[in-house]
Structure 1
Amino acid sequence: MRNFLNNLGPGILVSAAFIGPGTVTVCSLAGVNFGYSMLWALLISVFACIVLQEMSARLGLISGKGLSECIREEIENPAFRFLTLALIFFAIVLGNAAYEAGNISGAVLGMEAVFSSVSFQLGAINLNLWSLLIGGIAFFLLFLGSYKKLEKIFIGLVLLMSIAFLLTAVLTRPDLSEIFKGFIPGSIDAGLLTIIALVGTTVVPYNLFLHASLVSEKWSGPKYLGAVRKELAFSLFLGGTVSMAIVICAAASNIENIESAADLAVGLKPLFGSSATLFLAIGLLAAGITSSITAPLAAAYVVQGCLGWKGGMSSKRFKAIWMSIIILGVIFSSLGIKPVEIIQFAQIANGLLLPIIAIFLFWIVNQASVLGEHRNTLVQNIIGFIVIALSVFLGAKSIFSVIQNL
């Protein structure tokens, strides 16, 4: 048990990253709008997450490199390499800017549940004071490099919120037969964007890059492959269980609409009563700040790998990337759009971006020059192909439905 606890790390961070304000909001919306009927989509999302993150973790462990660095080194054709890296560069940077806006907006939801909304005019932009404050905290922690010292506190708060949802899911005494029916796939047309959002909030594209880097820093060599897989499976199964508990809480709470943290907090009232809003506010704030640190950091690692930069976090170019992501996140979260809508958009954007990143990951983990005997087996390729095909299908169907509505 002691060895298992010592091995906890990268998988827990990945799990904590997707149990952020986006997960709480999207899973609550799924429960409110569709009851238990989206549990099957969430279960498939968790399975897909385990499959793809295992590939990412194995890549980091065996190669000792990040995903973007491996892609840059493996593509021999200069023109194709440039186009590929440019696509990844812009997809991750823009995707993480949207995701950062969702993270900051989630923390703002928590602040506005306790304090009133405060904004001020800066030129043509009307900035939300809380967005600026959350962005400033993330900026300060990344700039000093002290975020690791506070990481345990933030993860502890998020885990506390997670335990609360698990307990509340039991206290609401939901209809077990209805829950089991929710794991049977139904029509996807009515809730297509919700399904994509559930995938996007569980299988976070930037985590595929971040996980490989985290594993390569913690372990080295194939002898740790078993420990990596066990830690990953435990962490993501825990995260998936929490997400399902949030859906169950929302479905059983009889909420009609979600626009604020106070609405989200209704799902916690069976356990916390009148203190539910305050507790959820703290949890959203912690989740938002933690994710607001992770997203820009991951984007900087991706850009560094794509461009072959050296120097790590101390380099000015590395800092310029994560600073840009934070600034864009603050601006996007201050545009007057409802925070819940920003968070939901970010998860949909993640769901559409996922197939692109997953295809590159799938290609790399099949390269003998990178992983040798630890490249994908036939079974892993079949499962991986199914996961990628499903994500491509959902993304294509979403784009087609948008075109039809134009």
Structure 2
Amino acid sequence: MAVTKQRPASWRLIGPGIVVAATGVGSGDLVATLIAGERFGYTLLWATIVGCLVKISLAEATGRWHLATERTIFDGWSSLGRWTHFYFGPYIVIWGFVYGATAMSATALPLNALFPVLPVWAWAMLAGIAGLVFVWFNQYPVFEKVMTAFIGLMFVTVVSLAVILLPNLGNMATGLVPTLPQGSTIYTLGLIGGVGGTITMAAYGYWVNAKGWRDATWIKVMRWDNRVAYVMTGIFVIAMLVVGAELLYTANIALVESDRGLLDLSEILRERFGRPIAVLFLIGFFAAAFSSILGVWHGVSLMFADFLGHLRGKTNRPVEEREESVEFRGYLLWLTFPPMALLFFDRPFELVLLYGALGAFFMPFLALTLMWLLNSSRTPAEWRNGWLSNTGLALAGLLFLIVSGNELVGMVSGLF
């Protein structure tokens, strides 16, 4: 059997991995990692590294499916049966409604702190509309350049802050040994599973195709792109852990477990280092939040266009055609305007429960269906899973099932 000739990897080709990393690492991940450092110091450093390895495995499998088969992940899901439609359809609609409000609110917080001329809800609306306008009128090449700029800003801001805090390298080294402090088990699993891990993991294959990588000759390039992006993510996450450990853990300072905790951190930075450092951090906070808006508005809209296209018998459309489609732009509007109603009210309890229940199972769904697809005759024999990929996907699936089960138990117990 002839081996597919591979194109040479190059730094200048990197792009889709940067996009998925910038999208996946949002303000929620900043808070989770920061509080891990605040509560446990460097003890959970190993968990952040394992989390990045898990994401490399998932993204590589998604990209390899798109390139080896020249079909999208939704083509693969459809081949497994219509049950995938019955799960994915309600999930992507409800997820988009709730996530839209969440992402807009997160982006509004640093904008309101930097420019308090408008209330949070007004900044949230402007952020959503800005994302809509940008994605509506720009295709992938421009989108990638802007996302690269945002992740560069995030990276420089947070890593610079970690350097300023002069981390204790000896204490950091102890965190490389896997240990579980009392009360940290579920929190650790969530940290591994949460950093950079959302529905946008599945969007990676669509961005790979949008880059112009359309067949198996690009798999080596895709793997390089994926690894570089998640090594950067790992450095970024470790830097945030340093901030929590050096600034909060040593001083016994606790933060709120929400996006507003990042505003509290900016005040702590202002008191210790002065306003310029606090402003720099708020800019990084904004970059993390707004890049998630742009990434979701573009990537998940592509997935929705593919999903609805399948239902309408329109399969195998080029990415450029999907970006101009009614389905793509309809979902953009869905992400932007209906969620604005949630900015003025507490989220409806039943909707949040349904969103949580469906969302909890997405990452196990992605990991386990990728194992199914990439070990079957649907994938050319040359590109089927080896033991390393199977181990990574199995670990991801098991991990996410445990985390999902814990989330569901928490939601059910909240009913009583």
| TM-score in terms of structure 2 length | 0.81
| Match in the other structure for 1:366 | 375
| Match in the other structure for 2:101 | 101
* Cα drift, residue 402 of structure 1: 4.8
Distance in 2 (CA, whole Å) between partners of 1:147 and 1:374 is: 27
1:25 and 2:31 equivalent?
yes
C-alpha contact 2:363 2:400 (8 A) present in aligned 1: yes
Distance in 1 (CA, whole Å) between partners of 2:269 and 2:144 is: 25
Quick check: which one's helix share is greater?
Answer: 1
- Which of 135, 147, 163 in structure 2 is aligned with 1:142? 135
Distance change in 2, residues 1:117/1:68 (3 Å): farther
**Matched residue of 1:369: which SS?**
coil
C-alpha contact 2:21 2:196 (8 A) present in aligned 1: no
**Matched residue of 2:378: which SS?**
helix
* Cα drift, residue 365 of structure 1: 1.7
Distance in 1 (CA, whole Å) between partners of 2:235 and 2:38 is: 18
C-alpha contact 1:196 1:347 (8 A) present in aligned 2: no
C-alpha contact 2:25 2:196 (8 A) present in aligned 1: no
Which residues of 2 match residues 2-401 of structure 1 at below 5 A? 4-72=10-78, 74-75=79-80, 81-116=81-116, 118-119=118-119, 128-145=121-138, 148-149=141-142, 151-187=144-180, 190-191=183-184, 194-195=187-188, 197-217=190-210, 218-254=212-248, 255-258=253-256, 259-265=260-266, 273-307=274-308, 308=310, 310=314, 311-335=321-345, 353-401=362-410
* Cα drift, residue 403 of structure 1: 4.2
Name whichever of 130-139 and 204-213 sits farther off.
204-213
Distance in 1 (CA, whole Å) between partners of 2:357 and 2:152 is: 24
Distance change in 2, residues 1:91/1:184 (3 Å): farther
Map Cα deviations across residues 300-341 of structure 1 (whole Å, 9 max, x no partner).
22223333154512222221112112234433344368xxxx
C-alpha contact 2:190 2:403 (8 A) present in aligned 1: no
Distance in 2 (CA, whole Å) between partners of 1:32 and 1:62 is: 43
Distance change in 2, residues 1:369/1:257 (3 Å): closer
Map Cα deviations across residues 109-137 of structure 1 (whole Å, 9 max, x no partner).
11121133745xxxxxxx81111111111
Unaligned runs of 5+ in 2: 1-7, 315-320, 348-354
| Match in the other structure for 1:340 | none
Distance change in 2, residues 1:134/1:43 (3 Å): same
Map Cα deviations across residues 18-60 of structure 1 (whole Å, 9 max, x no partner).
2332322222232223332332322221111011111011111
Distance in 2 (CA, whole Å) between partners of 1:54 and 1:207 is: 13
Distance change in 2, residues 1:377/1:114 (3 Å): same
C-alpha contact 1:366 1:376 (8 A) present in aligned 2: yes
**Matched residue of 1:370: which SS?**
coil
RMSD, matched Cα: 3.1
> Which amino acid is 1:130 matched to?
W
C-alpha contact 1:59 1:365 (8 A) present in aligned 2: yes
* Cα drift, residue 13 of structure 1: 1.0
Distance change in 2, residues 1:182/1:264 (3 Å): same
Distance in 2 (CA, whole Å) between partners of 1:288 and 1:357 is: 24
**Matched residue of 2:254: which SS?**
coil
C-alpha contact 2:55 2:196 (8 A) present in aligned 1: yes
* Cα drift, residue 379 of structure 1: 3.5
* Cα drift, residue 242 of structure 1: 0.6
C-alpha contact 2:54 2:392 (8 A) present in aligned 1: no
| TM-score in terms of structure 1 length | 0.83
Distance in 2 (CA, whole Å) between partners of 1:30 and 1:351 is: 21
Distance in 2 (CA, whole Å) between partners of 1:390 and 1:261 is: 27
Distance in 2 (CA, whole Å) between partners of 1:96 and 1:204 is: 16
**Matched residue of 2:112: which SS?**
helix
* Cα drift, residue 154 of structure 1: 4.8
Distance in 2 (CA, whole Å) between partners of 1:116 and 1:17 is: 26
> Which amino acid is 2:83 matched to?
L
* Cα drift, residue 12 of structure 1: 1.2
* Cα drift, residue 148 of structure 1: 4.9
> Which amino acid is 2:390 matched to?
N
Identity level (%): 20
